[in-house]
């Protein structure tokens, strides 16, 4: 690594949280180096997100404004019954695509600061610096080590070995399909709306997001759906998380890896329980994916020169719509705290932690309360 006079942040994880940290810290003059385990770009994965103020604030701070046509607006929320009838409530909002936000962040950062295919293993720190060690054998020194390595964080494992996310007893089956693939009845129901179908112990929701290339033109966008259903720990959950190659995943199953038996039981359940226009979305999706719903609260975010941010620090249920917004808010607040305390790193970090801990805790608990309302118990 080249030597530099600027303070350096070593960032573990090149997903949204890591990239938000990188662009915000670079804006205040830091040298940033992002280390991502995946050798490939992550842009072909992910579904939709509700655009949260935290996301746009962090993008603006880092001069990475997304422009006016970043998302797809919806006007109403509709609450659909099994027979297809719907109640309508005016509630405008904007939906974006995970891959569109990821690409915007990557574009803003440039490729030189991102090291793909580097798996973080461990760290050491003293009063002057922190050193990160990677599976490749490389070691990197810096002023700060930022754990943006997600819910199964390796960095957190070292800092807080007894703290792990807790499975909430249900999962989100998800899918994304081109709007051209929608049936007539789906298209008629789902234009300009954010749709829900609630039922005993399950909830289905769907909304429109930009196309894979970011287009928000009619006919080129995509329809995103999410179906929360209970699934107890044990054989059924293990079977769901076993992919086409026999590998059992820990908390999510990416698109293209769900086994045919699982896809068949998903489409059968959709025909039995969902309104026909919503069931059509599930049956038309060739590569559904799964994410387990988890809760996690870290007792701290600062450990000397080492930090936990985003989903490594707090996992909030997706009902809050806040995963990306929370990661962006952590990153923006960190850059602002360090910017106003340039001569005293530890004071800046303490201010950041004092601000973010209570807010993140509240969000996780709000997600638990929403989950109880939606799923029962």
Ligand X SMILES: Cc1cc2nc3c(=O)[nH]c(=O)nc-3n(C[C@H](O)[C@H](O)[C@H](O)COP(=O)(O)OP(=O)(O)OC[C@H]3O[C@@H](n4cnc5c(N)ncnc54)[C@H](O)[C@@H]3O)c2cc1C
CA distance 281 to 224: 9
Shortest Å, Cβ 301 to ligand X? 12
Q: Which stretch binds ligand X (CB under 6 A): 47-55, 61-69, 268-276, 346-354?
A: 47-55
Shortest Å, Cβ 159 to ligand X? 13
Shortest Å, Cβ 155 to ligand X? 7
201 burial via Cβ count (<10 Å: 0-12, 13-18, 19+): middle
Which one, 30 or 314, has the nearer CB to ligand X?
314
Residue in 165, 151, 157, 164 with CA at minimum distance from that of residue 120: 157
Residue linked to tokens 């086409």: 244
Residues in region 141-180 near ligand X by CB under 6 A: 148-151, 154
Shortest Å, Cβ 148 to ligand X? 5
Binding marks (x or -) toward ligand X, 97..126, rule CB under 6 A? -x--------------------xx------
Residue in 92, 288, 87, 49 with CA at minimum distance from that of residue 197: 87
Residues in Cβ contact with 3 at an 8 Å cutoff, skipping those fewer than 6 apart: none
Query: Which residue blocks in 28-131 are alpha helix, DSSP H?
Result: 53-61, 98-109
Q: Which stretch binds ligand X (CB under 6 A): 79-87, 103-111, 275-283, 317-325?
A: 317-325
Among 262, 280, 311, 353, binds ligand X (CB under 6 A): 311
Which one, 148 or 351, has the nearer CB to ligand X?
148
Tell me the number of residues near ligand X by CB under 6 A.
Answer: 32
CA distance 282 to 269: 10
CA distance 105 to 89: 33
Interaction site with ligand X (CB under 6 A): 12-18, 35-38, 42, 45-49, 98, 119-120, 148-151, 154, 310-312, 318, 323-324, 327
């Amino acid at each position: 690594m080249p030597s530099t006079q600027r303070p350096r942040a070593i960032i573990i994880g090149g997903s949204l949280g890591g990239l938000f940290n990188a662009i915000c810290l670079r804006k205040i003059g830091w040298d940033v180096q992002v280390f991502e385990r995946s050798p490939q770009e992550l842009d072909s994965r992910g579904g939709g997100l509700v655009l949260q103020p935290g996301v746009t604030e962090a993008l603006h701070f880092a001069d990475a404004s997304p422009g006016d046509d970043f998302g797809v607006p919806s006007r109403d929320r509709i609450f659909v019954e099994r027979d297809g009838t719907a109640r309508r409530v005016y509630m405008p909002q904007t939906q974006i695509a995970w891959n569109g936000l990821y690409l915007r962040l990557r574009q803003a950062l440039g490729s030189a600061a991102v090291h793909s295919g580097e798996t973080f293993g461990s760290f050491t720190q003293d009063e002057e610096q922190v050193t990160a060690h990677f599976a490749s054998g490389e070691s990197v020194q810096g002023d700060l080590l930022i754990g943006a390595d997600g819910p199964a964080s390796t960095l957190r494992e070292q800092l807080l070995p007894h703290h792990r996310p807790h499975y909430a007893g249900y999962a989100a089956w998800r899918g994304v399909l081109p709007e051209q693939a929608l049936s007539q009845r789906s298209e008629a129901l789902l234009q300009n709306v954010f749709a829900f179908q609630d039922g005993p112990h399950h909830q289905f929701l769907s909304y429109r997001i930009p196309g894979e290339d970011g287009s928000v033109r009619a006919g080129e966008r995509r329809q995103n759906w999410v179906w929360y259903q209970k699934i107890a720990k044990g054989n059924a959950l293990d079977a769901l998380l076993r992919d086409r190659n026999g590998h059992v995943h820990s908390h999510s199953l990416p698109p293209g890896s769900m086994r045919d038996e699982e896809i068949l039981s998903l489409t059968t359940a959709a025909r039995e329980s969902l309104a026909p226009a919503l069931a059509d979305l599930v049956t038309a999706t060739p590569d559904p994916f799964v994410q387990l719903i988890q809760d996690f609260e870290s007792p701290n975010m600062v450990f000397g020169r080492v930090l936990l941010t985003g989903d490594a620090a707090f996992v909030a249920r997706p009902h809050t719509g806040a995963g990306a917004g929370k990661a962006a808010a952590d990153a923006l607040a960190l850059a602002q705290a360090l910017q106003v305390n340039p001569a005293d790193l530890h004071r800046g970090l303490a201010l950041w932690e004092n601000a973010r801990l209570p807010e993140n805790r509240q969000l996780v608990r709000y997600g638990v309360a929403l989950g109880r309302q939606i799923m029962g118990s």
